[in-house]
Amino acid sequence: MTFVPYIGFALVALAALAFVAWPLRRAAESRKAKLLLGGAVALFVLGIGIGVYWTVGEPQLALREAQGLDSKELGALTPILIKRVRENPDDSQAWVYLTRIYITAGDARQAAGALGNAIRAGKKHGQESADLYTAHGELLVQASANRVEGKAVEAFNNALRLDPKNAPARYYLGIAAQQAGDIKAAQNYWQSVMADIPANSPLRSELVDRLASLGAPTARVAGAGGAPDINAMVTNLATRLAKEPNDAQGWLRLIRAYAVLGETDKAKTALATARKSVGSDATVEAALDAQAKELKLD
């Protein structure tokens, strides 16, 4: 589950437009010049969207940035933005757009750094955004092999400070609590999200699976339809995996849920089924073996 593209897209588009239009507008005095300006801006922004994808759509941005502005491989916009933020480190819009380029390139570490600078610059001007904090936290998570800790936790807490109902922040803080072994806190975070989101939200099934993986007694949650108890969650997860057996993470959650509930035979059966369904991938096989060893299922 990733929220970054949805959180940042509209903001980045506006930032790009402002970044391009402002210096051009100052140069356009006549009516004819302003009309030409409008068309030029529209074409330029459209060109950016296509050109960035084709030019920097590979995770090589870190190396290219190190080469500096003389690199002939860089597209036209990227060196302009890098130069802009070096000369004007408090230009939050430029940092946001540079973040988008790094995301397109698949470089979460660089994207997190750029967005962190955008947030820093915005704070200097008295501007903060819960959505930007959430996006920053997720990028930090992606850059740290899906560990939710340190600066990522700080970013999600800042998002909640500005928006106590921020669902993505609570979702990730639940993962942080689970990774830290605080099952009760994880349960509380995820149940609170389930109480607030629509019954047909794609996030709901993800949360049902995660709550099932906790294997702890689960109170019903008030809200649209409520939330099933832990046994119902585990059953639903098992039913879904029977129809969609290629979900490696789902199998790992189901195996752990059975083990925590003391249903060792079901855990072993799920492990055997998972190995047949998704164990051909070396990474998945290693994860299943590690979990089997941890839960003493082999």
pLDDT for position 282: 84
Which pTM does this prediction carry?
A: 0.57
Enumerate residue ranges in the chain where pLDDT < 70.
Answer: 1-76, 215-230
Amino acid in position 41:
V
What pLDDT, on a 0 to 100 scale, did the predictor assign at position 39? Answer: 45
pLDDT above 70: percentage of residues in the chain: 69
Chain region(s) in the chain for CATH 1.25.40: 205-298
Structurally, at CATH architecture level, domain 205-298 sits in Alpha Horseshoe (1.25)
pLDDT, position 76: 61
b or e along 187-207 (b: 16 or more beta carbons within 10 Å of the residue's beta carbon)?
A: bbbbbbbbeebeeeeebbebb
